[in-house]
Each structure stands twice: as C-alpha cells, then as structure tokens.
Amino acid sequence: MPLSVQTRREKQKAKLRSELVDAAHKLVQEEGYEGLTIRKLAKRVGYAPMSVYSYFADKQDILFALAEDAFQTLAKRIKDHPADDPIEALKVIMAEYAAFGLGNPNEYRTVFMTERVKPPEGKTFAEMQEGNPLMKVLIERVEACVAAGRLKGDPRAIATMLWAVGHGTISLLITFPFYPFGDQQAFVTRMCDFALAALATQDVPPLSEAPVNCCP
C-alpha cells in the first residue's frame, strides 16, 4: 500500500506546515509584522531554523501563506455580503476590498505589491483569472451586471479594469499615507463610482489575446 503511506507522509507534512503558519500568525500578532523571523518561528515550533525551509521556499513564501489566509476571509466576507442591485454588488466588492487593503496593508502588500514571478504552470488564460477567488467573484458579479443590462462588454475585461482602478487607488493610499488625498474613504468611493459610471456608458471589448508578456 504505497499510496496510503504516501498520503500519511503528506498529511504529516501538511500538519507541520499549518503548525508553522499558525505559529507565524501568532508571532505577527504578538510582535508585529517585522517580528516574524525564521529563527523565532523555528524556535516556536521546536525545530531548527533550517527546517522551516522544508516547508516554505523562502520567507516570502511564509508571508504569502499568511496573507492568503487573510484574503480567504475577505473573499468569504464578500460572498456573505449580499446586494439586490448588481451594480451595488460590485460596489460592495470594491468597498470591502478597499477596507481590507487599508486595514491590512502588510497583507495587501505581500499579495499585490510584491513581484509574482511564478511562471504559468500550464495555466490557461481564463484559469489564471479565475484562480484568484477574489477575481472569480468579481467576474461573476460583473457578469450579473452584463446580464442585467447594466454594463456592456466583456466581463473579464471589465473586471480587470475595475481591478486596476481599485488597486491603483488603494496602493497609492497605502504607499503615500501623507499625501493629501483628502478623506481616504471619500477618495475610494469617488474612484469606485467614477469607474463604474464610466463603464456603464461604453461597450468594453475583450482584452487582446496577445501571448503573456514577459519582461526581458
């Protein structure tokens, strides 16, 4: 029965990994984001520092695991947040997304502001978009708007454009907390409304099908 053994090992590994993630989470809560170091983390779970690298490629990998946990709850909160009007539903996403980013800047940074050099492991165009649970919900709700005749055009393109606007807004607010954007909430709402109003007036063509860009 090699398979069950295999899975047993896998289980064990997964358990230790989640133990590490838990410890990392606590460490961050107790000592702040920069208090998370490999050595402290290893000591916390009773392993040697180098053993951590059996479970994570590098430190970024740990931060990313933490951040993804946080984003999971965000995705859930969004899904649990209903709205009758489909456009309002989009606004809910944008608002929750913004609130999360401004409330968890570290997590937002690691997920959306540090380079992802993961090559597309056989992922297709659409898979890469819907792989992200947030993007998945966004596309779905955009589709609802299109179906309701409130928006017109390619849902994926519309979703991507909304993402760009939302991300630009939030990342600027995070990076330049002292820049006079005025009230953060007001700025977020303004940008969100601006983008949605503009999209409502035009027919959005799909994104070009050019091969994936690669920085040389």
Partner DNA sequence: AGCAGGAATCGTACATGTACGATGATTTTT
Partner DNA sequence: AAAAATCATCGTACATGTACGATTCCTGCT
Question: What is the contact surface with a second copy in residues (CB under 8 A)?
Answer: 102, 105, 112-120, 125, 128-129, 160-161, 163-169, 171-184, 186-187, 190-191, 194-195, 197-198, 201-202, 207-210, 212-215
Query: Is the CB of 2 or the CB of 178 nearer to a second copy?
Result: 178
Residue located via tokens 């460490």: 27
Residue 58 contacts which entry, a second copy, DNA, none (Cβ below 5-8 A, type-dependent): DNA
The residues, any chain, with a CB within 8 Å of residue 194's CB and separated by 6 or more, are 165
Query: Is the CB of 51 or the CB of 106 nearer to a second copy?
Result: 106
CA distance 20 to 180: 40
User: In angstroms, what is the minimal distance from the CB of 123 to DNA?
Assistant: 24
* Site residues, DNA (CB under 7 A): 1-2, 5-6, 8-9, 13, 16, 36-40, 47-51, 53-55, 58-60
Beta strands 152-153 and 203-204 are: parallel
CA distance 12 to 55: 11
Residue type, position 114, single letter: T
CA distance 118 to 86: 34
User: In angstroms, what is the minimal distance from the CB of 125 to a second copy?
Assistant: 5
CA distance 21 to 56: 10
User: In angstroms, what is the minimal distance from the CB of 174 to DNA?
Assistant: 20
Query: Is the CB of 32 or the CB of 131 nearer to DNA?
Result: 32
CA distance 33 to 21: 14
Residue 171 contacts which entry, DNA, a second copy, none (Cβ below 5-8 A, type-dependent): a second copy
> How is residue 83 written in tokens?
């709205």
User: In angstroms, what is the minimal distance from the CB of 193 to a second copy?
Assistant: 10
Q: Is 184 helix (H, G, I), strand (E, B) or coil?
A: helix
Q: Which of 132, 149, 73, 133 is nearest to 104 (CA)?
A: 73
Residue 202 contacts which entry, a second copy, DNA, none (Cβ below 5-8 A, type-dependent): a second copy
Residue 210 contacts which entry, DNA, a second copy, none (Cβ below 5-8 A, type-dependent): a second copy
Residue 84 contacts which entry, DNA, a second copy, none (Cβ below 5-8 A, type-dependent): none
